[in-house]
Structure 1
Amino acid sequence: MTTNTHSAGALAGVRILDMATVLAAPIGATLCADHGADVVKLELPDGSDALRGLQPVKEGVPLWWKVANRGKRGITLDVRQPRGKEIFLSMLPKFDVLVENFRTGSMDRWGLDIETLHKANPRLIVVRLTGFGQTGPYKSRPGYARIFEAMSGFTNLTGEAGGPPLHSNFPVGDAVAGLFCAFSIASEVARIRGNPDAKGVEVDLAATEALFRLLDCLPVEHEMLGQVRRPEGNRASYTAPSNMYRSRDGQYFSLVASSNAIFARVCAVIGQPALGEDPRFNSNPARVKNLVELDAKLGDWFGAHDYAEIAPRLEQAGIPFSKAYTIEDIEQDPHYIARQAIVRLPDPDYGSLPAPCIVPRIVGREMKVPRTGPGVGEHNAEVYAEFGLDTAELARLLEQKVI
Structure 2
Amino acid sequence: MRTSTSASPLAALDGIRVIEIGTFISAPFAATLLADFGAEVIKLELPDGGDPMRTLGEYPPGGDSSYWWSAMGRNKRSVALDVRTPQGRDILGRLLEKADVLVENFRPGTLDRWGITREWLREKSPDLVIARISGYGQDGPWRDVPGFDRNAQAFSGLVYVTGEPDMPPQQAGLPVCDFNAGLWSAFGIVTALLGQLRHRQPGGNEIDLALYETMLPFLKDMPQRFRHQGRVTQRTGNTPDYVSPGGSYRTGSGEWIFISGTGDTVFRRLMHAVGRPDMAESEQFRQNKDRVAHRPLLDGAINQWLLARNTDDALAQLQAADVPAVKIQSIEDVMTHPQVLARGNFLDVPDHGEGDVCMPAPLPRMAGMPAAVRWPGEHLGESTRRVLREELGVGEEEFARLQALKVIGS
TM range (shorter): over 0.9
Q: Please say if residues 185 and 207 of structure 2, whose CA atoms lie closer than 8 Å, have aligned partners that are also in contact.
A: no
Partner of 2:132: 128
**Contact 1:257–1:319 (8 Å) recurs in 2:** yes
Question: Which residue is 2:291 aligned to?
Answer: 287
Q: Per-residue deviation at 1:303? A: 2.0
Counterpart CA distance in 1 for 2:285 and 2:198 is 56
CA drift at 1:123: 0.3
1:227-306 maps to which residues of 2 (within 5 A)? 227-306=231-310
Residues 50, 380 of structure 2: 8 Å contact kept: no
Offset from partner CA, 1:274-325 (integer Å, 9 cap, x none): 1112233222111122223322221222122211210110111111111111
Q: State the alpha-carbon separation in 2 of the partners of residues 49 and 368 from structure 1.
A: 23
Query: Secondary structure in 2 aligned to 1:94?
Result: coil
CA distance in 1, matches of 2:50, 2:88: 17
CA contact (8 A) 2:177 2:211 kept: yes
Residues 114 and 7 from structure 1, CA distance in 2 versus in 1: closer, same or farther, beyond 3 angstroms? farther
Q: Output the aligned Cα RMSD.
A: 1.6
Question: What do residues 95-149 of structure 1 show as CA deviations (whole Å, max 9, x unaligned)?
Answer: 1000111111111111111111111110001111001000011111111110000
**Structure 2 counterpart of 1:344:** 348
Cα distance in 2, alignment partners of residues 323 and 66 from structure 1: 30
Equivalence map 1:1-400=2 (5 Å): 7-58=9-60, 59=62, 60-193=64-197, 197-384=201-388, 385-400=390-405
Q: Which runs of 5+ in 2 are unaligned?
A: 1-7
2: distance between equivalents of 1:349 and 1:324? 36
In 2, Cα distance between equivalents of 1:366 and 1:111? 38
In 2, distance between residues paired with 1:97 and 1:56? 31
Distance in 2 (alpha carbons) for counterparts of 1:398 and 1:214: 47
Higher RCO, 1 or 2 (CA under 8 Å, sep at least 6)? 2
Q: Which amino acid aligns with 2:45?
A: E
User: Which range moved further: 295-304 or 132-141?
Assistant: 295-304
Residue 153 of structure 2 contacts residue 159 of structure 2 at CA under 8 Å; is this kept in 1?
Answer: yes
Q: Determine helix, strand or coil for the equivalent of 1:205.
A: strand
What SS class does the counterpart of residue 283 from structure 2 fall into? coil
Moved more, 79-88 or 345-354: 345-354
Q: 1:344 touches 1:369 (CA, 8 Å); kept in 2? A: no
Distance 1:100 1:197 in 2: 23
Mapped to 1, the partners of 2:188 and 2:370 lie a distance apart of 24
Q: Deviations over 1:24-65 (max 9, x none)?
A: 111111011111111111100112422122112345431111
Provide the TM-score with structure 1 as the length reference. Answer: 0.95
Q: Which moved more, 1:206-215 or 1:255-264?
A: 206-215
Find the residue that maps to 2:401 and give its secondary structure. helix
CA contact (8 A) 1:159 1:166 kept: yes
Tell me if the contact between 2:108 and 2:134 (Cα under 8 Å) persists in the aligned partners.
Answer: yes
Aligned counterparts of 1:201 and 1:310: Cα–Cα separation in 2:
53
Pairwise CA distance, 1:82: 0.9
> Percent of pairs identical after alignment?
36
Task: List structure 1 segments (4+ residues) > 4 angstroms apart after TM superposition.
Answer: 194-197
Is this contact kept in 1: 2:12–2:369, CA < 8 A? no
More moved, 194-203 vs 322-331: 194-203
Residue 210 of structure 1 aligns to which amino acid in structure 2?
A: T
| Aligned residue type for 1:13 | G
* Larger mean Cα displacement after TM superposition, 161-170 or 76-85: 161-170
Which range moved further: 101-110 or 271-280? Answer: 271-280
Q: Secondary structure at 2:10's aligned position in 1? A: coil
| Number of aligned positions between the proteins | 398
Correspondence for 1:3: none
Give the SS at the match of 1:255. strand
Question: Which of 45-54 and 19-28 deviates more?
Answer: 45-54
Distance (Å, rounded) in 2 between the aligned partners of 1:197 and 1:272: 63
Q: CA deviation at 1:209?
A: 1.0
Following TM superposition, by how much is the alpha carbon of 1:77 offset from its aligned partner in structure 2, in angstroms? 0.8
